[in-house]
């Protein structure tokens, strides 16, 4: 397990990226809470995330990429969804969109759609840039509080993770989860008011409707 100071050095990021590519788990800071990362395109690695969190396999997990332009490598976007992503990402917003065939069913719980994030946090984006898409789920055992510091991590998560990137204290809270195509906010979080205002105006003529 690797922990650093508030600033993560390149060596620590490289170790974390190698761990993800090897199918292992890592803990990384986001603009909300600490996340548990694995190769989001590797079904077996995703399964290890479920095991570490003791999470039901019928609950999907989102993925994080390094930039808005990368989203379409893993998801099909309508014009409305593309405009939304450009308006709100990077940021604490998860967008539910149609998954491409490369996204494993383990991540989506067998559903055709996937939640996608572009974190507004340098360490998280650097990890995704080096390792490719990583799972975007809180680094805690399901049902327990999310971790805002490395000291808050559950012992089970620390033990499961090969590398822990310490980015200091995170702001807390959670991302807003939104289905732009259907004009629905599935989970309220940061920027929810702004998201709802956008949906009411820009998203009112979306292609698929409710």
> Is residue 4 in some structural domain?
no
Which pLDDT score is estimated for 82?
Answer: 97
Q: Is residue 2 part of a domain?
A: no
The pLDDT value given to residue 107: 98
In a domain, 1, yes or no: no
Domain that holds residue 182: 10-205
| Overall number of domains in the chain | 1
Q: Is residue 3 part of a domain?
A: no
Q: Which domain CATH number covers 189?
A: 3.90.870.10
Quickly state the pLDDT bin for 9 (edges 50, 70, 90). confident
Q: Are 109 and 22 in contact (CB under 8 A)?
A: no
pLDDT surpasses 50 at 5: no
What mean pLDDT comes out for the span 56-73?
97
- Please report the beta strands in the chain, taking only residues with DSSP state E, as ranges in sequence order: 25-29, 34-37, 62-64, 75-76, 93-99, 113-117, 134-136, 161-164, 176-179, 184-187
- For the whole model, what pTM was predicted? 0.91
pLDDT in the model for residue 203: 73
The HSE-up count of residue 199 (CA atoms within 13 Å, CB side) is 18
């Amino acid at each position: 397990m690797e922990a650093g100071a508030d600033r993560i050095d390149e060596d620590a990021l490289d170790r974390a990226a190698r761990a993800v590519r090897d199918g292992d788990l890592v803990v990384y800071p986001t603009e909300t809470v600490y996340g548990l990362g694995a190769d989001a395109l590797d079904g077996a690695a995703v399964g290890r995330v479920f095991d570490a969190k003791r999470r039901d396999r019928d609950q999907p997990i989102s993925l994080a990429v390094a930039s808005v332009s990368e989203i379409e490598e893993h998801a099909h976007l309508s014009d409305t969804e593309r405009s939304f992503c450009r308006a709100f990402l990077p940021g604490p917003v998860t967008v539910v969109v149609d998954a491409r065939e490369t996204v494993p069913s383990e991540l989506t719980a067998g559903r055709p759609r996937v939640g996608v994030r572009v974190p507004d946090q340098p360490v998280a984006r650097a990890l995704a840039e080096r390792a490719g898409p990583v799972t975007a789920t809180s680094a805690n055992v399901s049902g327990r509080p999310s971790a805002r510091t490395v000291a808050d991590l559950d012992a089970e998560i620390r033990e499961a993770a090969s590398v822990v990137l310490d980015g200091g204290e995170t702001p807390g809270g959670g991302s807003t989860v939104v289905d732009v195509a259907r004009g629905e906010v599935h989970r309220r979080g940061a920027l929810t008011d702004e998201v709802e205002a956008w949906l009411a105006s820009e998203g009112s003529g979306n292609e698929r409707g409710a």
